[in-house]
Amino acid sequence: MRLQNKVAVVTGAGSGMGKAIATLYAKEGAKVVVSDINADAANVTVEEIKSNGGDAIAIMANVAQENDIQNLIDTAVDTFGTLDILVNNAGIMDNFEPAGDIEDDKWERVFAVNTTSVMRSTRKVLPIFLEKEQGVIINVASAGGLQGARAGAAYTASKHAVVGFTKNTGFMYATNGIRCNAIAPGGVETNIGSSMTNINEFGMGRIQAGLGVNPRVGKPEEIAEIALFLASDESSFVNGTVITGDAGWTAY
């Protein structure tokens, strides 16, 4: 029960890594706010948590919308009285477009979901954490936020931005009892591929060599264990950094 009496918000928790994180947090004693753009999927996660004796609520949120983020955090606090942990997990892929093939609306959508949402939700929870002088922020970045050939230019840039934002936030508030870290997953079995619509053949062809050296694909539960470590007091000296979970993919 490493998260006993903690309140956690997890975005994109209707499936994949977010669902695994929310489920594990509840198992470890946290009250979990399960957020997802798919309300039905969020409700399924909540039902599974409750069936195992956990405490959770579902909130539909499109993290690309400021109003939804405001409502998400406000409802979490109204329901459970406070907030201790924020996990910015929601994300989408691009279609492996290189710079020359990017369309403005696609670029802006990827950044709205993957990057701007991280800033907005962090900005929203900081007054809560600063008043308590305690709080944990965990951003799900990507191996694509560390390397240049794991996706297209938009996704790669968006996740690099998340890494930079994480480091800056971790340092800025380090003396206020607030920690901010990121997880950089490699290939993980999730449904993020469903956000791809028309894969760019040139871009995909250029990253094939890197895909070929990936040791293996991970399970969402393996990323959840990293998120548990970062949320718990066991990582009290870990701040402003990125933990990579990719079976050694980026080590090549």
The pLDDT of 43-62, averaged and rounded, is 98
- pLDDT at residue number 202: 96
| 114-140 pLDDT tens trace | 999 999 999 999 999 999 999 999 999
- pLDDT at residue number 166: 98
- Residue 106 and residue 97 in contact, taking contact as beta carbons nearer than 8 Å: yes
- The model's pTM is 0.96
- pLDDT at residue number 102: 97
Is residue 194 predicted with pLDDT exceeding 80? no
The pLDDT of 183-206, averaged and rounded, is 90
- Residue 239 and residue 181 in contact, taking contact as beta carbons nearer than 8 Å: yes
Domain 7-251 part of CATH 3.40.50.720: yes
CA torsion, ordered 18, 19, 20, 22, to nearest 10 deg: 80
- pLDDT at residue number 195: 76
Every domain of the chain and the residues it spans: 7-251
Q: From 211, 217, 241, 215, select the one nearest 229 (Cα to Cα).
A: 241
> In 182-233, which ranges are continuous DSSP H helix?
201-211, 220-231
Q: Indicate the average pLDDT of the chain.
A: 97
> Helices 16-27 and 39-51 sit at what angle, rounded to 10 degrees?
30
State yes or no: is 155 an active-site residue: yes
